[in-house]
Amino acid sequence: MLPLYRGASIRALENAARNAHPGIDLMDNAGRAAAAFARRQLTSGARVLVLAGPGNNGGDAWVVALELARSGHRVSAVALGDSASLPVDAAAALARWRAGGGTVGSDVPDGPWDLIVDGLFGIGLTRDLEGRAAQLVAFANRTGAPILALDVPSGLDADTGVVHGIAVRARWTTTFLASKPGLYTADGPDHAGTITLADLDVDAAALASADGSLIERDDVAHLLPARPRNSHKGTFGSVAIAGGAESMVGAVVLAARAALLTGAGKVFAGVLGSAQGMEAGRPEIMWRSVDSLPDAESLDALVVGPGLGRSAAATAAVARAIAAPVPIVIDADALNCIAGSTDLELRLTGRAAPAILTPHPTEAARLLGCTGGDVQRDRIAAARTIATQLGCYVVLKGCGSICAQPDGAWSINTSGNPGMASAGMGDTLAGMIGAFLAQHLSAPDAVALAVHLHGAAADALVVRGVGPIGLTASEVAEESRALLNRWVYGPPATDPV
């Protein structure tokens, strides 16, 4: 998994790199790497506007300006702040720009521009942009010119992905030394564009432990093995889905179908309401009342929550699930039942088998006793707090879903798109996690595979023109089956035997 480093860790990593490699010029390496990327996007003699800030991110920008000017591009540079108060390295980079014939303006020259280089603010920004800084960001966004952000888009929090007032909307971001979590969650993906990592000739992992990691296709595609021919349905486990209060049975249908489509050997659906007519739609699902689901000892995994409601019967179903000696997935209203009950929280923390919680931000806020806005202001911290306090695995859903473990380890998923903002997607994900648990994957592997596959299936559908507008959970479940089989077995044969 690609390591992620928060701002404080990046500062420590920079110091470690200088100690390990005396004489290394990280700013020069960063500027040269970004300039090399920019040249690949530009034609000869292109017009480039460089926006340089008052710190070391501005120093990176001065190196980029000089490099692009030496390549024959027409570069104009605008400085924010007093150049006399620049940090030492940034001041030296500005001096080299001026010595090479470059000029520095305070006002933006007339365009149009073939590229804008955003070097205003980097990883240290923790306050809202105001005044001239905000004006320059708004101008850059308004031009419609492609923007290359240096390290992180100005105005975006590198740790959390939250926008501080206003932020650059880059087409590309070249991030330096190591990747930052804020590029991949919350507002990050909408502002960072396509991200490339310039490691500056430093092996970050060898110098410092990462804070977290990314979940990408290569990290999960191998987790489910090919099936032996000598198999039977018991080989791939039994999973039960408990939920479905009156008028909400469809949530159980979605979760149960997803579990079937992603490989569970047997799927039981237990509902509080009436399941009349459901058998015809998916006869492979074995329907029960919640109270008559198979004994937990005969199951390999249990999912509780889809469409469950918040009745006394719902709370009792959650209590039975927590008491089960098998891995469980707790979703939707089951999370709300736990948030309102100290007793259920205590029972949850005392479980021996793994429990996986899959809240969206509002559900996470109920568990934490805060607001959804508080959760979104630091999604990583919210997920980690729930995981460590309750001793559970947590998937905080949303843009760049956060997967946190009881020991505080965390990762960010990279797949998915806005088409997934529709009803039933969470039910489908819960069923998929249950299916992988039933197939005897460990809890962290089941979470990583299900979360990434879920988003990757939605991405594959969009590539084919299905969505993002109007994308449905049922379509994602079907595509997940197809994609999972390609990951395990490779592309299908053109002439089936």
Q: For residue range 177-227, what is the model confidence (pLDDT) as tens digits?
A: 999 999 999 999 999 999 999 999 999 999 999 999 999 999 999 999 999
Q: What size, in residues, is the chain? A: 497
| 427 band by pLDDT with thresholds 50, 70 and 90 | very high
Quote the CA–CA distance of 29 and 198 in Å, as a whole number.
9
Instruction: Return the amino acid letter for 390.
Output: L
Q: 3-class secondary structure for 262-285?
A: CCCCEEEEEECCCCCCHHHHCCCC
Model pLDDT, residue 150: 98
Percent of the chain with pLDDT over 70: 98
Q: What is the pLDDT of residue 472?
A: 98
**13-26 CB burial, b ≥16 within 10 A, e <16:** bbebbeeeeeebbb
**Which of 138, 123, 157 has the alpha carbon at shortest distance from 13?**
123
% of the chain exceeding 90 in pLDDT:
92
Rounded CA gap, 310 and 121, in Å? 47
Please state which of the ranges 137-141, 245-249, 374-378 shows the lowest mean pLDDT: 245-249
Mean pLDDT of the chain: 95
Which residue in the block uniquely carries the two structure tokens 């959970």? 473
The single-letter code of the amino acid at 33 is: A
User: How confident is the model over 80-101, as pLDDT tens digits?
Assistant: 988 888 999 999 999 999 999 9
Give dist(CA 320, CA 49) in Å, integer. 63
Of 135-149, 265-279, 388-402, which range is least confident?
265-279
Tokens 């089941």 -> residue? 446
Provide the edge-to-edge strand list for the sheet that holds 410-413: 3-4, 212-215, 410-413, 402-404, 393-396, 355-357, 328-330, 301-304, 238-243, 266-271, 286-289
CATH 1.10.10.10 fits 219-489, yes or no: no
Shortest CA distance to 51 belongs to which of 38, 62, 43, 67?
62
Give the separation between CA 497 and CA 291, rounded to whole angstroms: 45
- Report whether pLDDT(48) > 90: yes
The domain ranges of the chain are: 3-210, 219-489
> At 31, which amino acid appears?
G
CA-wise closest residue to 354 among 445, 431, 424:
445
Q: For residue 180, is it left (φ>0), alpha (ψ between -120 and 50) or beta?
A: beta
pLDDT in the model for residue 274? 78
C-alpha 417/C-alpha 330 separation (Å) is: 24
| C-alpha span between 152 and 172 (Å, rounded) | 10
Q: What whole-number distance in Å separates Cα of residue 63 and Cα of residue 30? A: 8
CATH T-level assignment (fold) for domain 3-210: Rossmann fold (3.40.50)
Q: Give yes or no for a contact between 454 and 476, defined as CB atoms under 8 angstroms apart.
A: yes
**pLDDT tens track for 253-299:** 999 999 999 999 999 999 998 776 665 567 899 999 898 888 878 99
pLDDT at 278: 66
| Contact predicate 455/420, CB 8 Å | yes
pLDDT at 283: 87
pTM: 0.96
pLDDT tens profile 436-478: 999 999 999 999 999 999 999 999 999 999 999 999 999 999 9
Could you tell me which of 419, 429, 401 has the C-alpha nearest to residue 255?
429
**For residue 167, how many other CB atoms are within 10 A of its CB?**
28
Q: What is the pLDDT of residue 426?
A: 98
Query: CA-to-CA distance for 395 and 404, rounded, in angstroms?
Result: 7
Contact 26, 92 (CB under 8 A): no
* pLDDT one-digit tens code per residue, 163-182: 999 999 999 999 999 999 99
